[in-house]
Structure formats: structure tokens, C-alpha cells
Structure 1
Amino acid sequence: MKDLLHPISLVVAALGFLCLLRDIPARRRDPATTALAAVFLLSGLSFLFSITPMWNYLDRVLGTVNLSVPLAQSCVIALIACQQVVLTYWGSPPDIARRRARAWLGAGLAVIAGLLVLFALLTPSAPRPIDFTLYYAHDNMYAAYLTLYVTAYTIGEVLLARACWRLARSSKRTSVRVGLRVVALGATITLGYSAVRIGNVIAGAFDTSLAGWENFAWTCGDVGAMLTLIGWLVPTITDQAQSVQCRFKQHLSYYRLRRLWLAFYSEAPEIRLPIDRGDPAPRRRFRSIGFKLYRRAVEIRDGRFVIRQYLEAGVRERSEAHHSARGLSGEELNAAVTADQILAGIAARKTGERPHPDWLTDFADAGPETSQLMDDIDALLAVARHVPRQRARTPHPERASA
């Protein structure tokens, strides 16, 4: 059962670590993110060390029989401490969180040191990657080793479940609430592993065996660990999904604004903002879709300013009457009228015919400036939907700047 479930758990831990690795550079000053990444890394190592082929490999290379036991279980104790560090930083002020985090890490190191000392006092005779606990259950030194490990493991999982349920009730983010509850559920399931290991210690004292419960122990341990890892990932995956959705919307908006931008650029190419080709910083920034979208919106606004002096009241009145007859109203009507005004203004600028000052008007969608960039983008997109595609090929601004 161990060699069946551990590889699955290892894959889950590795995927989670790679997912978090993407956010570490941007959050390198956030101890909680670093500790959470350590949880996935340590979890993956604990599963890796316990798989039979890796167990045998380490025995052969390091020359110490069954060394995978303290290596894997030291990783487990370390990740339990790191989980408490994550919760400490999530639920406490920074100064208090730092003190508590140091205490948790210190406690974890003390337990690991105790495990290593007790393991060194064992006298392992042969590799036991499958039934190590059952084989050594009657050894008094291993009973002490297992008691220390199971006690620290159980306390850590109980405290983890309690803290997650408490933080879940106070969190305002749905993804965090769901994730913490899944972590709490996983921690609760792992207590089945703890119960069997405690039973191994008691059974050893009475010269009996719990061999029939080994599959149950490994199932509880692996399933609980996988649920815990998945729970920790829920907020991160949600944030990254929202980020991907935002970038997709930005790409789509950038593409859909092209026809409106081309309408202005074909008559007023001076709206294209220059890019310093000799400075690598602006060039790197220009590759960002967010920057390119912002730049396109600014150029369109500049184009509107250029043709504003060519807007005739008669064009607006006729357009309003036409689109109102088509059933448009409200903001959609204003967007359609604005598109007609833009096309008429561009045509007037080409001929150089300015309307009489008494006949000047403003854009139909003119109103108070929006404070959010995407609100401004949405307003421009509404106008762009009513602008026909340009058939003429116009140099692309990004290529011209390359």
C-alpha cells in the first residue's frame, strides 16, 4: 500500500511546490509563502525517501541501513512546524508571528535532533522498507523513537486542524475558507495513522502485532496528507486562475480595441507613443500585456482629443435618431453615437473642414473620468464594437518600435 500511495502523494507535493515556486520571487519578503513552499518540498521529500527503490538506493549509497526512516520522518516534523509558521503569519501580527514562528521551528529542530539520536542507538540488521515498524516494534529503543515521533506528529496535526477551523471562520475570502477546511479535514484523517502507530508501541509492550492495520495506517497517512496539500493549494490556485483570467481579458481587450485604434492611427499617426529602444527597462515593460493595453487606451484617448475639434452637433443628432430607431438606449446608444462621431470627425480632419464653433459638440459618451483602468477600457470597447474593421494595412505600432 505504501508504494502505491506514496508516488501519488509525491506527484501532488511536486505539483504544489512548482505552483508555489512561481509566486516566491514576487513574495520573497512574505515568510508565510516561503514556509508554505517548504511544506510542499518537505512533504515531497518525505514521500520520496519512503518509496522502496529510493529506500534501497540510500541504503546502498550512504552505507547506513534504513536511513530513510529518520530522513523521511524528519521531513514530516519539519513540515508540521512550517505549517504552524504559515498559520502563525496568517493569523497574528508580524511581530508576534515572528516570535511564534521561531518557537515552532525551534521545537521542530529539537524533535528532529531527538529522533536522530534515538535512531543512532538502534542496531538495524537488514533493510526493512516495507515492514520497518512491525520489525522493530519490540525494540525498546525504537519504541522510544516511535513514541517521540508519533507524539510530535499527533500534537502537530491536532493543533493544525484546530487552527485551520478557527481561521476558516474568521477569513473573508471564500478560497481561503475552503482551503483551510480541507486542510483541517486532511489533518483529522491523518490521526488514523497516529492511532495505528500508537497501537504499535502498545502492542510491542504486550508482544503482539498490528500487522493487519498497516494498510489502514498508510491509507490514512497518505490520503490525509494529500488532502492537506490540496487544501493549502486552493487559495494559490484560485489567485493564479484569477490572474490568468485577467491576462486573458487584457489580451482580448487589446485585440478588440485594434479597430478603434486603427481608425485614429490611419489619420493621426502621431498618437503612437514612442518607446526608448536603447533602454532595456521600457522594452521589457512593453512586453507586458497590461502595459500594452494601457498604452493603447492612452493612444485612443489622444486620438479622441485630436478629432474633438471636428465634432459637429448635426452628426450627433442624426446618429442619435438613427440608433434610437434601432432600439438602442443608454450607454449602448452613447457608444454607437460616439463611434459615428469618431468616423465623421476623422473624415472631416482629412478634408480640413472644421465645423462652425456654434455647431461644435462633445462625444456622446463624455462623462466623468473613471478611476479604474478596466472601466475605461470597457467604455472604449463599447465604442469599438460599433467601428467597422479597417481594410487598409497599417503598420503595427509594436513592430514599428522594434
Structure 2
Amino acid sequence: MKDLLHPISLVIATLGFLCLLRDVPARRRDPASMALAAVFLLSGLSFLFSITPMWQYLDRALGTVNLSVPLAQGCVVALLACQQVVLTYWSSPPDVARGRARVWLGAGLAVIAGLFALFTQLTPSAPRPIDFTLYYAHDNAYAAYLTLYVTAYTLGELFLARACWRLARRSDRRSVSVGLRVVALGATITLGYSAVRIGNVIAGAFGGSLDQWESFAWTCGDVGAMLTLIGWLVPTISDQAQGVQYRVNQHRSYHCLRPLWLVFHREAPEIALPIDRVDPAQRRRFRGITIKLYRRAVEIRDGRFVIRQHLDAGVRENSEAHHRTRGLHGDELNAAVTADQIIAGITARAEGVRPDSDQLTDFADANRQTSRPMDDIGALLAVARHLPDPARAHQPERASA
């Protein structure tokens, strides 16, 4: 059972670590993010060390049989401590969290040191990658070893489940709340592994054995660990999915703004921001979609400024009347009117026509409120959607001067 479930858990831990690794450079000063990445790395190592082929390889390479046991279980203790560090930083002020994190990490190191000290007291006669616990169940040194490990493991999972349930109720982010509940569920399931291991210690003291419960123990341990890892990944995957969606929207917006940009560029090519004088080392930044979209929006705004002095109030009035008959109102009406104003203003500029001062007006969407960068892009996209095809568009009449 162990060699069936551990590779699956290893794959999940590896994928999770790689997923988190993408954000590590940007969040290297965030202790919670670094601790969470450590959770996945340590989890993967614990499963890797316990798989029979790796167990046998370490026995040969290190010259100490069954050393995979303290290595794997030391990783488990370390990841339990790192999980508490994550929750501590998520639920406490940084100054308080820093002190508590040191306590958790110190306790984890103390347990790991105790495990290795007790492991040296064992007298392993042969590699036992499958039945290690059952083989040493009657050994007093191993009973102490197992008692220390199971106590730390059980307390760690209990603290984890309790803290996750509490923090999940307080979280305003749905992805975090759902993820923490999944972590809590996984931690609860792993208690089945703890129960069997505690039973091993008790049964060994009385000369008994729980060999028939080994598959149940490994199932609870691995399924619980899988759910825990998946739960920790939920907020990260949600954030990265939103990031991907944001990038896709930026690319879509960039291309959808092209017709509007071309309208201005054909009349006023000077609006294009030159980048040929940019330092070559910085030029790569200008190829990113965020900068390209920002440049396009700035150039369109510059184009609007160029034709602003050619906006005729009569065009605006006629356009508003036309689009009201189509049922448009609010921001959508203003965007449609602005699109007509742009076409008429460019035509007027090309013909050298300017309205009298009493007929001069502003764009219909000039007062639209935009609190975020993408709100401004949205306002320009609304205008672009209503931009008529110059070859067949309805052209509002300019009021006579």
C-alpha cells in the first residue's frame, strides 16, 4: 500500500512545489510563502525517502540501513512546523508571528534531534522498507522513538486542524477559506495513521501486533497528506488563475484597442511613443503586455487631446439623439457618442475646421469615473466597441458655425 500511494503523493507534492516556485522570487521576503514552499518540498522528500527503491538506494549509498525512517519522518516533523509558521503569519501581526514561528521551528528541530538520537539506539539487522514498524514493534528503543514521533505528529495535526477551521471562518477570501477547510479535513484523516501507530506502541508492550491495520494506517496517512497539500494549493491556484485571466484580458484589450488607436495614428502619427532611444537593457520591459497596453492607452489619450479642439457641440447633440433612439443610456451612451465625436473630430481636423468657441465641447465620456488602471482601459474599450467603420458608418452632421 505504501509503495502504491507514496508515488501519487510525491507527484502532488512536486507539482505543488513547482507551482509555488513560480512565485518565490516575487515573494522571497514573505515568510509565509517561503514556509509554504518548504511544506511542499519537505512533503515530497518524505514520500521520496519512504519509497522502497529510494530506501534501498540510501541504504547502499549511506552505509546505514533504514536511515530513510528518520530522514522521512524528520521531514514530516519539519513540514508540520512549517505549516504552523504559515498559519501564524496568516493570523498574527508580523512581530508576534516572528516570535511564534521561532518557537514552532525550534520545537520541530528538537523533535528531529530526538528522533535521530533514538534511531542510533536501534540495532537494525537488515533493510525493512515494507515492515519496519512491525519488525521493531517490540524494541524498547523503537517504542520510545515511535512514541516521540507519533506524539509530535498527532499534536501537529490536531493543532493544524483546529487552527485551519478557526482561520477559515475568519477569512474573507473564499479560496483561502475553502483551502483551509480542505487542509483541516486532511489533517483530521491523518489521525487514523496516528491511532494505528499509537496502537503499535501499546500492542508491542503487551506482546501483540496490529499488522492487519498497516494498510489502513498508510491509507489514512497518504490520503490525509494529499488533501492537506491540495488544500494549501487552492489559494495559490486561485491567485495564479486570476493572474492568467488578467494577462489574457490584457492581451485581448490590447488587440481590441488597435482599431481605435489606428484611427488616431493615421491622423496624428506623432502620438506613437518612440522606444528606439530606450536603453537596450530596459527595452525588454517594453515588450511585456502590461507596458504595451499602458502605452497604447496613453497614445489613445494623446490622440483624443489632439482632436479635442475640433469637437463640435452639434455633433454631440445629434449623436446623443441618434443613440438614445437605439435605447442606449449611461456610460454606454457616452461611449457611443464619444466614438462618433472621434470620427467627426478627426474629419474636422483633416479639413482644418474648428467650431466657434460657443460650439466647442468635450468628449461625452470625459467625466467617467475610473479608479483602477483597467477601469480606464474598460472606458477606452467601450468607445472602441462603438467605433463605426469609416467606410460605411453613420457620420453625425457637424453643426454649422
State the TM-score, normalizing by the size of structure 1: 0.94
Relative to structure 1, the CA distance from residue 281 to residue 389 in structure 2 (aligned partners, 3 Å threshold; closer, same or farther) is farther
Greater CA deviation, 195-204 or 325-334?
325-334
What is the distance in 2 between the residues matched to 1:239 and 1:368?
Answer: 29
Following superposition, the deviation at residue 376 of structure 1 comes to 1.3
Are residue 349 (structure 1) and residue 349 (structure 2) matched?
yes
Partner of 1:397: none
What is the distance in 2 between the residues matched to 1:294 and 1:278?
Answer: 16
Partner of 2:164: 164
What is the distance in 1 between the residues matched to 2:389 and 2:135?
Answer: 77
Relative to structure 1, the CA distance from residue 154 to residue 349 in structure 2 (aligned partners, 3 Å threshold; closer, same or farther) is same
Greater CA deviation, 37-46 or 323-332?
323-332
Q: Secondary structure at the match of 2:267?
A: coil
Partner of 1:57: 57
Q: Secondary structure at the match of 2:18?
A: helix
Partner of 1:309: 309
What is the distance in 2 between the residues matched to 1:324 and 1:368?
Answer: 18
Are residue 175 (structure 1) and residue 175 (structure 2) matched?
yes
| 1:127 maps to amino acid | P
What is the distance in 2 between the residues matched to 1:282 and 1:259?
Answer: 28
Following superposition, the deviation at residue 55 of structure 1 comes to 0.8
Deviations 1:330-358 (A, max 9, x none): 32222112111111111121122222333
Q: Secondary structure at the match of 1:266?
A: helix
What is the distance in 2 between the residues matched to 1:216 and 1:297?
Answer: 61
Following superposition, the deviation at residue 370 of structure 1 comes to 2.4
| 1:52 maps to amino acid | T
Deviations 1:264-287 (A, max 9, x none): 001101111122544145423212
Matches within 5 A, 1:89-104: 89-104=89-104
Are residue 83 (structure 1) and residue 83 (structure 2) matched?
yes
Relative to structure 1, the CA distance from residue 389 to residue 237 in structure 2 (aligned partners, 3 Å threshold; closer, same or farther) is farther
Partner of 1:340: 340
Partner of 1:287: 287
- Say if 1:277 and 1:283, in contact at 8 Å, map to a contact too: no
Partner of 1:399: none
Are residue 217 (structure 1) and residue 217 (structure 2) matched?
yes
What is the distance in 1 between the residues matched to 2:187 and 2:90?
Answer: 18
- Say if 1:263 and 1:390, in contact at 8 Å, map to a contact too: no
Could you list the runs of 5+ residues in structure 1 that have no partner in the other structure? 392-402
Partner of 1:200: 200
Following superposition, the deviation at residue 120 of structure 1 comes to 1.1
Deviations 1:243-296 (A, max 9, x none): 111111111111111100000001101111122544145423212222221111
| 1:85 maps to amino acid | V
Partner of 1:33: 33
Following superposition, the deviation at residue 390 of structure 1 comes to 7.9
Relative to structure 1, the CA distance from residue 232 to residue 118 in structure 2 (aligned partners, 3 Å threshold; closer, same or farther) is same
What is the distance in 2 between the residues matched to 1:324 and 1:274?
Answer: 40
| 2:93 maps to amino acid | P
What is the distance in 2 between the residues matched to 1:280 and 1:144?
Answer: 64
Relative to structure 1, the CA distance from residue 125 to residue 227 in structure 2 (aligned partners, 3 Å threshold; closer, same or farther) is same
What is the distance in 1 between the residues matched to 2:172 and 2:328?
Answer: 40
What is the distance in 2 between the residues matched to 1:240 and 1:337?
Answer: 38
Number of aligned residue pairs: 391
Relative to structure 1, the CA distance from residue 84 to residue 385 in structure 2 (aligned partners, 3 Å threshold; closer, same or farther) is same
Partner of 2:380: 380
Q: Secondary structure at the match of 1:367?
A: coil
Could you list the runs of 5+ residues in structure 2 that have no partner in the other structure? 392-401
Following superposition, the deviation at residue 60 of structure 1 comes to 1.4
| 2:95 maps to amino acid | D
Matches within 5 A, 1:248-287: 248-275=248-275, 277-280=277-280, 282-287=282-287
| 2:43 maps to amino acid | S
- Say if 1:187 and 1:224, in contact at 8 Å, map to a contact too: yes
- Say if 2:257 and 2:384, in contact at 8 Å, map to a contact too: yes
Instruction: Name the Cα RMSD after superposition.
Output: 1.5
What is the distance in 2 between the residues matched to 1:193 and 1:280?
Answer: 59
Partner of 2:399: none
| 2:35 maps to amino acid | A
Are residue 319 (structure 1) and residue 333 (structure 2) matched?
no
Are residue 110 (structure 1) and residue 110 (structure 2) matched?
yes
Following superposition, the deviation at residue 54 of structure 1 comes to 0.7
- Say if 1:259 and 1:389, in contact at 8 Å, map to a contact too: no
Partner of 1:154: 154
What is the distance in 1 between the residues matched to 2:198 and 2:370?
Answer: 63
| 2:220 maps to amino acid | C
Relative to structure 1, the CA distance from residue 389 to residue 291 in structure 2 (aligned partners, 3 Å threshold; closer, same or farther) is farther
Following superposition, the deviation at residue 324 of structure 1 comes to 2.5
What is the distance in 2 between the residues matched to 1:85 and 1:329?
Answer: 53
What is the distance in 2 between the residues matched to 1:35 and 1:389?
Answer: 56
- Say if 2:340 and 2:388, in contact at 8 Å, map to a contact too: no
Following superposition, the deviation at residue 46 of structure 1 comes to 0.2
State the TM-score, normalizing by the size of structure 2: 0.94
Partner of 1:398: none
